[in-house]
């Protein structure tokens, strides 16, 4: 299967130092794929595969390729989770906010996930990611925290102390 995927241009990645998907899950919460049948279709050529670096631009019916040709498509799926979320925060919001937020994913103090499904050091900036199961389960807890923050029951900034009334 892996040889077939490589043959059609699928970029394989075995994790930092060959550690595999488990370490990617623990440190990034993503960046891996489990085959549930789609890989077979890609290998057989029933689902096409193009690299983003070969695409010049998108248009309603597909994409213009850097080679000058066009690629017609009914559906384009962008698998974009190859860089850590800190990269996107820095790119979109700047160095100051990225520093305020700090690391995302991986385990921090008390072996809790860092800045995932909870308030961050940047008021109003929340992160949810991972598998569908993780997002479905944790979205409820995240929504409750957002509601509590909006109603003044939790401080907006994670660095502010929580005052509990008796």
Owning domain of residue 40: 2-72
Q: Which tokens go with 48?
A: 């096409």
Give dist(CA 43, CA 124) in Å, integer: 43
67 and 95 together in one domain: no
Do the domain assignments include residue 100?
Answer: yes
7 and 64 together in one domain: yes
Residue 105 burial (CB count, 10 A)? 23
Do the domain assignments include residue 80?
Answer: no
7 and 42 together in one domain: yes
pLDDT of residue 131: 72
Do the domain assignments include residue 163?
Answer: no
Taken as a whole, the chain contains a residue count of 166
pLDDT of residue 81: 61
Do the domain assignments include residue 118?
Answer: yes
CA distances for 159 relative to 28, 109, 111, 143, angstroms: 23, 14, 18, 20
96 and 57 together in one domain: no
Do the domain assignments include residue 165?
Answer: no
Do the domain assignments include residue 159?
Answer: no
Convert 99-124 into a string of H (helix), E (strand) and C (coil).
Answer: HHHCCCCCECHHHCECCCCCCCCCCC
| pTM score | 0.53
Query: Would you write out the chain's pLDDT as a tens digit for each of its 166 residues?
Result: 999 999 999 988 888 889 888 888 777 667 777 888 889 999 999 988 888 889 999 888 889 999 999 999 887 776 666 678 888 889 888 999 999 999 998 888 888 888 988 889 998 888 888 777 788 888 999 999 999 999 999 888 776 655 555 4
pLDDT of residue 79: 64
Residue 16 burial (CB count, 10 A)? 11
46 and 104 together in one domain: no
54 and 103 together in one domain: no
53 and 107 together in one domain: no
pLDDT of residue 50: 87
Q: DSSP letters of 39-82?
A: HHHHHTTSS----GGGEEEEETTEEEETTS-EEE-S------TT
pLDDT of residue 161: 56
Do the domain assignments include residue 145?
Answer: yes
pLDDT of residue 29: 66
Do the domain assignments include residue 37?
Answer: yes
pLDDT of residue 159: 65
Q: How many domains does the chain have?
A: 2
48 and 92 together in one domain: no
């Amino acid at each position: 299967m892996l040889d077939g995927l490589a043959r059609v241009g699928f970029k394989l990645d075995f994790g930092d130092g060959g550690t595999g998907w488990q370490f990617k899950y623990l440190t990034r919460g993503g960046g891996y794929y489990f085959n549930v049948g789609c890989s077979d279709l890609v290998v057989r050529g029933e689902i096409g595969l193009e690299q983003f670096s070969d695409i010049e631009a998108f248009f309603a019916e597909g994409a213009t390729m850097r080679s000058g040709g066009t690629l017609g498509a009914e559906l384009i799926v962008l698998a974009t989770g190859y860089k850590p979320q800190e990269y996107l925060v820095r790119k979109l919001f700047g160095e100051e906010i990225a520093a305020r937020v700090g690391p995302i994913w991986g385990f921090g103090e008390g072996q809790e996930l860092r800045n995932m499904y909870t308030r961050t050091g940047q008021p109003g900036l929340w992160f949810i990611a991972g598998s569908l199961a993780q997002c479905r389960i944790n979205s409820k807890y995240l929504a409750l925290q957002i509601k509590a923050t909006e109603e003044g029951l939790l401080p907006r900034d994670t660095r502010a102390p929580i005052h509990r009334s008796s």
